[in-house]
C-alpha cells in the first residue's frame, strides 16, 4: 500500500498485523480523491480520519495539501502504526493522532469541526446514525460494505461500489459547504 498522489506520492504505508485492519486500497483512495477533486479538493482543509487503522485516508489528504489531519483509532498498535506512517511520509507535523474509541472521542470533543471527515469503521459497525448525528462537517466520506441509511443529518451526493467496498459521499443537511450551500 502506497500514497497515491501529492508530496508523499509512492511512499509505502505500513499496516498493523493481526488486528483485522482493512486499509482502504490504493484504487479506492484514488477514486475517493478524484471525487473530492471534483468538489474542490482538500487543499488547506482540516480533515478527520475516523477509525483510521493505517491512517491511509488522512495521510493521502495531507499529501494532497490538507492543512491538518486528526486521525482517530482506539487500538494502540494502529495508533503507533499511524505515527510511523506519518513520520515515513514526512507529514507528522501536520497531524494529530488520537488513540480513543471514535464514539467516546466524539462525545469528549463535541465542538470539533472539520472540512472533510473520512469514516471507515469495521464492516459490522451499525451505529451510523449516532456517528453522523453530531459530526460538524459539510462533507463526509463513508466506507462500508453496504449502502447506508444516513438519517436526517446528511444527504447522499454519490454512492460508488468498488468490489466489496461501498463509498458514500455525503453532504451535511444543515451545514453550508465551502460555497455557502446548505
pLDDT tens profile 89-105? 999 999 999 999 999 99
Taking the C-alpha atoms of residue 157 and residue 34, their distance in angstroms, rounded to an integer, is 14
Find the mean pLDDT for residues 61-88. Answer: 96
Say if 151 falls within a structural domain: yes
Inside any domain, residue 81: yes
Q: Is residue 44 part of a domain?
A: yes
pLDDT at residue number 52: 95
User: Does residue 12 lie within any of the structural domains?
Assistant: no
For residue 94, what pLDDT is reported? 97
State residue 180's pLDDT score: 46
Question: Does some domain include residue 5?
Answer: no
Instruction: Check residue 182 and give its pLDDT.
Output: 42
As a dihedral over the C-alpha atoms of residue 131, residue 30, residue 114, residue 124, rounded to 10 degrees, the angle is: 10
Percent residues over pLDDT 70 in the chain: 92
Would the pLDDT of 137 be above 80? Answer: yes
What pLDDT score was predicted for residue 150?
A: 87
In a domain, 15, yes or no: no
Residue 179 has pLDDT above 50, yes or no: no
Global confidence as pTM = 0.90
Burial of 50 (0-12, 13-18, 19+ CB in 10 A): buried
Average pLDDT over residues 137-146: 94
CATH number at residue 136: 3.40.50.150
Position 27 scores a pLDDT of 84
**DSSP notation for 12-65:** B----TTS---PPPHHHHHHHHHHHHHTT--TT-EEEEET-TT-HHHHHHHHTT
61 assigned to some structural domain: yes
Range of the domain at 139: 26-172
Q: Is residue 166 part of a domain?
A: yes
Q: Report whether 23 contacts 2 (CB < 8 A).
A: no
Structural domain total, the chain: 1
Amino acid at each position: 500500500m502506497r500514497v497515491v498522489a501529492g508530496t508523499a506520492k509512492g511512499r509505502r504505508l505500513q499496516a498493523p498485523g493481526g488486528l483485522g485492519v482493512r486499509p482502504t486500497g490504493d484504487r479506492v483512495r484514488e477514486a475517493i480523491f478524484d471525487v473530492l477533486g471534483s468538489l474542490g479538493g482538500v487543499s488547506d482543509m482540516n480533515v478527520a480520519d475516523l477509525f483510521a487503522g493505517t491512517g491511509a485516508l488522512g495521510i493521502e489528504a495531507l499529501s494532497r495539501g490538507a492543512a491538518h489531519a486528526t486521525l482517530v483509532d482506539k487500538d494502540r498498535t494502529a495508533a503507533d502504526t499511524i505515527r510511523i506512517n506519518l513520520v515515513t511520509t514526512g507529514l507528522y507535523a501536520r497531524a494529530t493522532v488520537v488513540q480513543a474509541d471514535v464514539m467516546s472521542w466524539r462525545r469528549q470533543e463535541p465542538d470539533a469541526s472539520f472540512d472533510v471527515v473520512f469514516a471507515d469503521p469495521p464492516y459490522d459497525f451499525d451505529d451510523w446514525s449516532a456517528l453522523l448525528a453530531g459530526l460538524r462537517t459539510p462533507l463526509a466520506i463513508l466506507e462500508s460494505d453496504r449502502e447506508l441509511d444516513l438519517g436526517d443529518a446528511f444527504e447522499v451526493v454519490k454512492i460508488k461500489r468498488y468490489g466489496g467496498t461501498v463509498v458514500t459521499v455525503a453532504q451535511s443537511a444543515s451545514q453550508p459547504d465551502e460555497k455557502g450551500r446548505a
